């Protein structure tokens, strides 16, 4: 069943074509249905936590888009609800963990081929900046965009961050600055295992979506590149030219989205841990809030400062 408070005939028709039997404007219809075991929450951010709690209380497994909430306190309420329902799975939508490239980098780490992790670099650049209207309600680049990279850093490091320092500026579009945000950033993180991570972000890479990670350690380095439409290379008097990266997240992460949902279903069916879970959702938000505070106060900020305040 598909619930959308703004359900239109067009959406309803599309849903049917995709094999969804019922549609509704009220998600409570889904929660009330005894036939439904699990829900996917893809609504606007401020509704994630309340709907999550209702769904948990209704006995549904939950897949929730990131961020769970911009307020750690609200995420903790979802955690409390989950504690009362240990039989339920709760997965957060950090889709990049299911990207074949990042998975392979992570596997090199968990296989021990990288050794002790010492340096992590994550590059994450969008092909186009969002509209400034969106920027205003987005929570800022760190909670809207970098949050994926914060989760990636934890995924690759295998531990939490302890401190964050953010450097940023408005280099692409003054309208983003006027909306109170930045469009270019570098975030340095100190991790619990001593590793240092550096994320760089841009809201506009003219060559397309740039999503790379590199993990360096005592035994070696694992890194991934972007995906391109093909492996074809044309060599002429001008140079050796391959295709630029796939345009944006829908192209790059199409397969990752499918695997993500498959993983959620698998966790339910086999009673396995749903990953990434609510704790991952919380940590990424703490890191984002620390980055915001760091930029505002122009100093490194400890995760504990945020956790205690919130």
Pick between residue 237 and residue 271 the one whose CB is nearest to a second copy: 237
Cβ nearer to a second copy, comparing 200 with 280? 200
Nearer to a second copy, 5 or 169 (CB): 169
Q: Which is nearer to a second copy, 25 or 219 (CB)?
A: 219
Near a second copy in 231-250, by CB under 8 A: 231-244
Find where tokens 């961050």 sit. Answer: 161
Task: Give me the least distance between CB of 119 and a second copy, in Å please.
Answer: 5
Q: Spell out, one character per residue from 155 to 184, where the chain touches a second copy: x when CB under 8 A holds, - when not.
A: ----------x-xxx-xx-----------x
Dihedrals φ, ψ of 241, to 5°? -120, 120
Q: How far is CA 55 from CA 52, 60, 157, in A?
A: 5, 5, 32
The site string for a second copy over 128-157 (x = CB under 8 A, - otherwise) reads: ------------------------------
Q: Which long-range contacts (CB under 8 A, 24 or more apart) does 164-168 make?
A: 164/188, 164/189, 164/190, 164/287, 164/290, 164/291, 164/294, 164/300, 164/301, 164/302, 164/303, 165/189, 165/294, 165/299, 165/300, 165/301, 166/142, 166/291, 166/292, 166/294, 166/295, 167/295, 168/141, 168/295
Residue 290's contacts (CB-CB under 8 Å, 6 or more residues apart) are 161, 163, 164, 301, 302, 303, 305, 306
Peptide bond into 67 cis (omega under 30): yes
Cβ distance 163 to 302 under 8 Å? yes
**Interacting positions 205-224 with a second copy (CB under 8 A):** 205-207, 210, 216, 218-224
Token reading at 35:
């036939």
Residue 118 sits in the site that holds a second copy (CB under 8 A) = yes
Q: How far is the CB of 41 from a second copy (least distance, A)?
A: 29
Q: Which of 101, 124, 263, 283 binds a second copy (CB under 8 A)?
A: 101
Which residue has 């841009």 as its token pair? 202
Residue 188 interacts with a second copy (CB under 8 A): yes or no: yes
Near a second copy by CB under 8 A: residue from 144, 181, 200, 280: 200
Measured from the CB atom, is 71 or 247 closer to a second copy?
247
18 binds a second copy (CB under 8 A): no
The window from 4-12, 42-50, 200-208, 272-280 that contacts a second copy (CB under 8 A) reads 200-208
91 Cβ partners below 8 Å, 6+ apart?
A: 62, 63, 64, 260, 263, 264, 267, 274, 275, 276, 277
Which of 103, 128, 275, 305 lies at the binding interface for a second copy (CB under 8 A)? Answer: 103
Residues near a second copy (CB under 8 A): 100-101, 103-105, 107-108, 113-116, 118-119, 121, 123, 125, 165, 167-169, 171-172, 184-186, 188, 190, 194-196, 198, 200, 202, 204-207, 210, 216, 218-244, 298-300
């Amino acid at each position: 069943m598909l619930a959308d408070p703004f359900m239109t005939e067009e959406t309803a028709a599309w849903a049917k074509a995709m094999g969804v039997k019922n549609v509704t404007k009220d998600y409570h219809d889904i929660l009330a249905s005894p036939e439904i075991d699990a829900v996917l929450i893809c609504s606007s951010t401020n509704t994630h936590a309340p709907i999550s709690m209702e769904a948990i209380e209704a006995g549904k497994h939950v897949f929730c888009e990131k961020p769970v909430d911009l307020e750690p306190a609200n995420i903790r309420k979802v955690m409390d609800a989950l504690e009362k329902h240990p039989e339920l799975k709760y997965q957060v939508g950090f889709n990049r963990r299911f990207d074949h490239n990042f998975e392979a980098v992570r596997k090199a780490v968990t296989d021990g081929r990288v050794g002790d992790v010492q340096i992590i670099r994550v590059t994450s650049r969008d092909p186009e900046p969002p509209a400034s209207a969106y920027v205003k309600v987005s929570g800022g680049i760190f909670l809207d965009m970098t949050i994926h990279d914060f989760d990636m850093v934890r995924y690759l490091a295998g531990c939490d961050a302890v401190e964050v320092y953010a450097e940023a500026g408005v280099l692409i579009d003054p309208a983003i600055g006027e909306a109170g945000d930045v469009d270019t950033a570098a975030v340095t993180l100190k991790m619990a295992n001593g590793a240092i991570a550096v994320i760089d972000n841009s809201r506009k890479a003219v060559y397309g979506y740039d999503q790379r990670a590199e993990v360096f350690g005592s035994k070696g380095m694992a890194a991934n590149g972007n995906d391109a439409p093909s492996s074809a290379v044309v060599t002429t008097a001008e140079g050796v030219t391959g295709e630029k990266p796939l345009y944006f997240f829908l192209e790059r992460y199409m397969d990752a989205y499918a695997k993500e949902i498959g993983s959620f279903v698998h966790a339910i069916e086999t009673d396995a841990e749903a990953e990434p879970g609510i704790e991952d959702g919380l940590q990424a938000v703490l890191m984002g809030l620390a980055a915001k505070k760091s930029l505002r106060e122009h100093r490194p900020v400890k995760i504990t400062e945020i956790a205690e305040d919130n």
